[in-house]
């Protein structure tokens, strides 16, 4: 085989820097495990002052989902995980989409055949068997074909796959940054398919070739790939290539026994956004699913991406599976909501406010500050404020409050004396309303709550509201406030 092509590709490989890659398949939304892999990969690159590469692994065309590549781009951009090389940016070792590199894999697979590390297989396997290599290598008659026999059948146009020729006997050892050195018996490894009948590579072959040609120094993936790592090592050795540092991350679990799965309704990044979670909170929480800061940062919970890029160390990655705890995510999200500047909070809250309050005269800017400190997620907004749009049916029991010392009778009396006071106000502002209600309570020698609680109840029809009587009066406006108080009087009479 003329090796000019090989030497040309080798000469293009970047060296002397940390290079990581995120290589998703365009098969749907970004689930939490994928997002964590992208995060760790990005953090390793940024912490090491290196390059973060985006590569699209689309060789499994049967699982390709239209629009999924765009979701990958938009999710990474929204999360701030910027890449230095990729399909849209280009770079020194492109293309960065596997199907556009198709011809490369066949050349490398045939080179392995020449070196005795792979062989042509003409057996009529099912497609699933081809993809998985799920059979005993000693039972495959093609493994023992001579080079001349195999080449003759190829030249005759007989369909074939190319399989990795795992050494018989002996052991293979690989090293992982998290799990340490792992040794397996070669007899437990199958002769996996490298090149399929359609000329496309399997994932297990393409990612090895691409990682080498792109100069990848650190490979982050799920611990489910630990069983494949020995075969990857044997491929690197057969080519004479340097093995990158492996970082196998334990799975994200729904509970102690079950992995998170889209099939079982577990959320993707897009789902979490739709459920009212902020990107910053999601990223912060997902980073801590299986990683913990060390030293002076060990007690810290909240981090920006920039802070994480400075302190992220592989020694903080855990071997143990991480359980996705919705309550913990709520805790993180609530913190980020409370810490937002009022203007920024209004921007993210506005769609949820508009969903619940459609009355044009109501100023949503007045409602936003009342709910900012009362939400775990943005979806908590609508149920708290829907009464502004329409007063719900409610029970008179809401007027009865032990601490405020109110009951149905004295609430009725409070509304009757308050109504003309508010009717007489010409300046409908927070300060004037507050002064009027507090002044009335003082005049009647009552505690403020004896007036405020009945008014708040009449205006909201709820036991709990964001804001008290004064805020609700201000937001609802004079006419609607008086209308609801009159309704309350009728209901209590």
Locate 385 and state its tokens. Answer: 């404020």
| Closest to 488 (Cα-Cα) out of 386, 390, 391, 356 | 391
Annotated catalytic, 262? yes
Burial class (CB in 10 A: 0-12, 13-18, 19+), 487: middle
Locate 113 and state its tokens. Answer: 């055949």
Contacts of 144 (CB under 8 A, 6+ apart): none
Locate 465 and state its tokens. Answer: 């509201």
Locate 484 and state its tokens. Answer: 């609801």
* C-alpha–C-alpha distance, residues 21 and 38, integer Å: 8
CA atoms within 13 A on the CB side of 492: 27
* C-alpha–C-alpha distance, residues 19 and 214, integer Å: 8
DSSP one-letter string for 151-218: HHHHHTT---EEEE-PPSSSEEEEEETTTEEEEEEGGGS---EEE-TTSPBPHHHHHHHHHHHTT--E
Which residue is catalytic, options 77, 231, 259, 262?
262
| Closest to 107 (Cα-Cα) out of 118, 121, 122, 93 | 118
> How distant, in Å, are the alpha carbons of 46, 83, 255, 371, 418 from that of 315?
16, 24, 25, 40, 66
Three-class SS of residue 280? helix
* C-alpha–C-alpha distance, residues 137 and 141, integer Å: 9
- Locate the DSSP E strands across 322-462: 322-323
The answer to whether residues 476 and 362 touch, using CB atoms and an 8 Å cutoff, is: yes
The answer to whether residues 418 and 438 touch, using CB atoms and an 8 Å cutoff, is: no
**Residues labelled as active-site residues:** 262
């Amino acid at each position: 085989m003329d090796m000019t092509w090989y030497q040309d590709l080798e000469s293009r490989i970047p060296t002397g820097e940390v290079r990581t890659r995120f290589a998703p398949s365009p098969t749907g939304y970004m689930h939490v495990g994928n997002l964590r892999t992208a995060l760790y990969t990005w953090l390793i690159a940024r912490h090491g002052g290196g390059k973060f590469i985006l590569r699209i692994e689309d060789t499994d065309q049967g699982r390709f989902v239209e629009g999924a590549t765009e979701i990958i781009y938009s999710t990474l951009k929204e999360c701030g995980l910027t890449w230095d090389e990729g399909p849209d940016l280009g770079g020194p070792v492109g293309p960065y989409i596997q199907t556009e590199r198709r011809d490369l894999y066949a050349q490398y697979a045939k080179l392995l055949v020449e070196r005795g590390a792979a062989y042509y297989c003409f057996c009529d396997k099912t497609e699933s068997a081809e993809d998985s290599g799920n059979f005993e290598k000693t039972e495959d008659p093609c493994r023992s074909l001579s080079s001349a026999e195999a080449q003759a059948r190829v030249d005759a146009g007989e369909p074939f796959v190319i399989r990795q020729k795992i050494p018989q006997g002996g052991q293979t050892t690989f090293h992982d940054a998290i799990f340490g050195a792992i040794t397996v018996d070669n007899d437990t490894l199958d002769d996996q398919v490298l090149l399929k009948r359609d000329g496309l590579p399997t994932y297990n072959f393409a990612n090895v070739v691409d990682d080498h040609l792109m100069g990848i120094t650190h490979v982050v993936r799920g611990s489910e790939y630990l069983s494949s790592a020995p075969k990857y090592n044997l491929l690197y050795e057969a080519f004479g290539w340097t093995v990158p540092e492996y970082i196998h991350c334990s799975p994200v679990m729904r509970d102690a026994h079950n992995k998170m799965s889209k099939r079982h309704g577990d959320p993707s990044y897009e789902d979490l956004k739709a459920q009212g979670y902020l990107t910053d909170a999601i990223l912060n929480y997902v980073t801590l699913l299986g990683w913990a800061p060390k030293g002076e940062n060990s007690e810290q919970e909240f981090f920006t991406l920039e802070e994480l890029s400075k302190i992220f160390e592989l020694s903080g990655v855990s071997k143990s599976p991480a359980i996705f705890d919705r309550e913990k995510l709520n805790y993180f999200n609530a913190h980020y909501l409370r810490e937002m500047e009022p203007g920024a909070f209004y921007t993210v809250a506005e769609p949820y406010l508009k969903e619940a309050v459609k009355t044009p005269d109501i100023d949503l800017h007045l409602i936003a500050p009342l709910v900012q400190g009362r939400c775990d997620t943005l979806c908590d907004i609508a149920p708290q404020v829907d009464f502004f749009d329409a007063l719900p049916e409610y029970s008179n029991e809401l007027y009865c409050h032990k601490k405020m010392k109110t009951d149905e009778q004295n609430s009725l009396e409070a509304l009757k004396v308050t109504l003309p006071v508010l009717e007489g106000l010409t300046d409908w502002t927070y300060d004037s309303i507050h002064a009027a209600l507090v002044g009335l309570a003082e005049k009647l020698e009552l505690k403020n709550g004896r007036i405020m609680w009945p008014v708040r109840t009449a205006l909201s029809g709820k036991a709990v509201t964001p804001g008290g009587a004064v805020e609700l009066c201000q937001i609802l406006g004079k006419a609607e406030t008086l209308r609801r108080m009159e309704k309350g009087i009728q209901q209590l009479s």
